[in-house]
Amino acid sequence: MIPETIKAQDVMQELGFVATRAQLLEHLTRREITGALRQGHIVRLGRGRFGLRSAHQAAQAAMRLSGTASHLSAAQLHGWPIARAPARPWVTVPRSRNVPASVREEMHVVFAPAVGRVTDPLRTVLDCARKLPFDEALSVADSALRARDVDKAVLVEAAAQARGPGSVQIRRVAESASGLSANSFESCLRAIALDVGLDVIAQHPIQLPGRLVHPDLVDVGRRLVLEADSYRHHRLDIRVFQQDLWRYTSLTVADWTVLRFGHAHVMSERDWVRACLRTYL
């Protein structure tokens, strides 16, 4: 039997480390949720929203430094699913602030102007795009667009004005970001595909006999479909599983190549994923 807390952590990872109660109840019992909360493995971020303990730790770290929770910590506090949970809190403090080296070892301290308890949504996306790897930054941007906390046109305009180290990636993230990606898992797969040179589009429509489908990622010119397949998603609903099988087979019959990747592949076996995708360049 899987311990309640381990099961809860596994579910939270697949959901992007942020979830509503309804999402958790699709995978966990009420007892399992209560047990994970009691032991502090997940925390309440707000009414009906749950996240990792690191989100609260980030808010506490910001208060400790009289600074502002920022970057991935701000993304967590905004309630956005992310690709990887930060190992240390991210806090932005004024450039004039003297932060002891021992404290800087405990958290990511960024010296820049910032106000408030947490950076605003647009600033959070831009900060992550400047500092994080492309896949993590794209995941944050996609989540912000999906939540409608940031507007795509506003993001692109703000990115165009960015200067200094990381500004090139800021513009790349802004141009690539899409609120159509269902989760951070799909965002990371899209980032890998873009990195190897594929021209993938999230949820691009394909007309099949009798049905219009929207695969996770589509490279139209190469007639290539990429699917980010969740074991938990298929396990929960046999109808979804059957529909996906119909879609995969129908796409193949219609002369589309379909590549399916699991969460562990995208998050932990990226070299293999890249090697597979490069085959189609």
Residues 183-209 have a mean pLDDT of 95
Domain ranges of the chain: 4-52, 54-176, 184-278
- Summarised one tens digit per residue, pLDDT across range 110-150 is 999 888 889 999 999 999 999 999 999 999 999 999 999 99
Whether residue 3 has pLDDT greater than 70: no
- Summarised one tens digit per residue, pLDDT across range 196-208 is 999 999 999 999 9
Query: In degrees rounded to 5, what are phi and psi of residue 100?
Result: -55, 150
Q: How, if at all, do strands 42-46 and 257-262 pair? A: unpaired
Q: How, if at all, do strands 90-93 and 68-69 pair? A: antiparallel
- Summarised one tens digit per residue, pLDDT across range 231-277 is 555 455 677 778 888 889 999 999 999 999 998 899 999 999 999 99
Q: Which residue has the higher pLDDT, 45 or 280?
A: 280
So what's the pLDDT on residue 132?
A: 97
CATH hierarchy code of domain 184-278: 3.40.960.10
H-only helix segments in the chain = 4-14, 21-25, 30-38, 53-64, 71-77, 101-104, 121-131, 134-146, 152-160, 167-176, 184-196, 231-236, 238-253, 263-268, 270-278
The DSSP letter of residue 118 is: B
So what's the pLDDT on residue 235?
A: 55
Instruction: Name the band, by pLDDT with cuts 50, 70 and 90, for residue 10.
Output: confident
Contact between 135 and 180 under an 8 Å Cβ cutoff? The reply is: no
Structural Rg of the chain based on CA atoms: 20
